[in-house]
Structure 1
Amino acid sequence: MSKDKVIVAKRYALALYEVAGVAKLEETVAELRVVKHVLESNKDLQKVLSHPKVTKGQKKELIKESIGAELSTPVMNTIFLMVDRNRYLFITEMAAQFIELANEAQGIADAQVYSVRPLTDDELQKMEQTFAAKVGKRALRINNIVDPSLVGGVKIRIGNRIFDGSISGKLNRMERQLASHGS
C-alpha cells in the first residue's frame, strides 16, 4: 500500500474522529468494521466503484444499498465525501486508520490468537491480561483463529508483533538453529 494512500486515508479518519467524538467511538468503530468487511469481501462492489462510467450518484446509491442501512450520518457523510472527491478506493484504509485511532485513544489493541482448537472464554481472558501488559495496552480485542498446522500451543499477533509459542514455531526455530550450526 502506498504511503500517499495511508496519508489520505488518515486525514479522512481524523476528520471523522473529530466529528464522531468520544461518545460515539465504539458505535463508529463497529460501523466502520462492517464497511471494511463489506468492501474487502465484495470484489464486484470495488470494481463498480472504480469504474469510470458509473456516476458519483450511482456509487453513493450503491454504497447506501450495500451497507448504508446501519450507518450513522457522520460515517455516511464521510464516505460520500470520499466518493465526491474520487477517494472511494481509500474507504477501507480510512476505516482501518479510524479503528487504529480509536484503539489508541482507548488503550486497546487488536490481537489475532492462532490455536489448534477454539479457546475458552477463560483462556482468552487470561491471554488478554497477560499480553495487554506486554504491549502496554489496557485491553486486547481478541480474534481466535483455529489453525491445526500449529500442532499445539498458540501464536499471537498484536499489530506487527508476533509471540509464537506454538510447537510448529519451536520446531522451525530448532531447525534453523541446527542448520546454522551444522554448516
Structure 2
Amino acid sequence: MSEIVANRYAKALFEVAEERDAIDAIESQLHTVAEGLAENEDLRRVLMHPQVSSDNKKELLNKLFEHQAGLEVLNLLRLLIDRKREAIIDEVLEAYTHMANEKRGILDVTVTTAVALEEQEEQDLAQRLGKALGKQLSIHVKVDKAIIGGILLRIGDRLYDGTIAGKLAGFKQEIKVGRQG
C-alpha cells in the first residue's frame, strides 16, 4: 500500500521537476535526504516518533537540509510530515528514480543473488544484460541467502526467477499437481 502512495508523491514531484527542467538535481537532493536519514538513526527515530510535533519535525528537517535540498524537496518533506507519511521517503526516492530513469531511457534492473557479487561480476552482468535488452541499465544488487543459489532478476515489472529456491518451489508444485492427477 505504501508503494502506491509513494508513487503518487514521486509522480507529483517528478512532474514539477520536469516543468522546471530539474529532474537530475531533484533526484540528487532526494538521495542526499534519504542518505542523511539512513545514516542517522537518532534523526530517523525523532521523525518517526508520534509524540514529536509536525512543526518540530519540519523545523528539524529544514535546518538539516536547507542547504542540500531545494524548495521542491523541502516542500515534499513538509507534506509527508503533515500527512504522517515520513516513513515512505525511501520509497518515494525509489519511485522517483524509476521515473527519471525511464525518461532517460535507462531500464531499472534489480539483481538478487545468494552471495554478494564482486564489482567486476556486476559490471559484466550489466553489460551482458544491457546488450541482450538493447538498453542502458541501472543495476541494483541485493543479497538474499534464502534463494540458495542462482539469480533473480526484476526488470521493470517483470520477474525472471533462475534461483534454486524458485526451482524447488516449481518442483514442489509439480509434485502436488501430479498427485491430484
TM-score, normalised with respect to structure 1: 0.70
AA in 1 matched with 2:85: L
Q: Secondary structure at the match of 1:165?
A: strand
C-alpha deviation, 1:115, in angstroms = 1.5
Task: Give the equivalent residue in structure 1 for 2:16.
Answer: 15
Q: Secondary structure at the match of 2:85?
A: helix
Q: Secondary structure at the match of 1:124?
A: helix
Q: Deviations over 1:12-48 (max 9, x none)?
A: 33113433525xx1x4323313434527x73541335
AA in 2 matched with 1:45: L
Task: Give the equivalent residue in structure 2 for 1:139.
Answer: 136
Task: Give the equivalent residue in structure 1 for 2:53.
Answer: 54
C-alpha deviation, 1:164, in angstroms = 1.1
Q: Deviations over 1:50-86 (max 9, x none)?
A: x6x7253x332211345x16623244443366369x3
Q: Does 2:147 match 1:150? A: yes
C-alpha deviation, 1:130, in angstroms = 3.8
Task: Give the equivalent residue in structure 2 for 1:173.
Answer: 170
Would you say the 8 A contact 1:16–1:74 is kept in 2?
no
- Matched ranges for 1:1-183 at <5 A: 1=1, 6-21=7-22, 25=24, 27-36=25-34, 38=37, 42-48=44-50, 54=53, 56=55, 58-66=56-64, 68=65, 71-79=68-76, 82=79, 86-87=82-83, 89=85, 92=89, 94-132=92-130, 138-183=135-180
> Structure 1 residues 8 and 147 mapped into 2: Cα distance closer, same or farther (>3 Å)?
closer
AA in 2 matched with 1:71: Q
Q: Distance in 2 between matches of 1:69 and 1:103?
A: 26
Q: Distance in 2 between matches of 1:137 and 1:88?
A: 42
> Structure 1 residues 182 and 43 mapped into 2: Cα distance closer, same or farther (>3 Å)?
farther
Q: Deviations over 1:102-134 (max 9, x none)?
A: 111112233322212221233222322343466
Q: Distance in 2 between matches of 1:156 and 1:45?
A: 34
Would you say the 8 A contact 1:109–1:137 is kept in 2?
no
Q: How many corresponding residue pairs?
A: 172
Would you say the 8 A contact 2:26–2:70 is kept in 1?
no
Q: Distance in 1 between matches of 2:33 and 2:71?
A: 13
Q: Distance in 2 between matches of 1:141 and 1:4?
A: 23
Would you say the 8 A contact 1:153–1:165 is kept in 2?
yes
CA RMSD of aligned residues (A): 3.4
> Structure 1 residues 98 and 19 mapped into 2: Cα distance closer, same or farther (>3 Å)?
farther
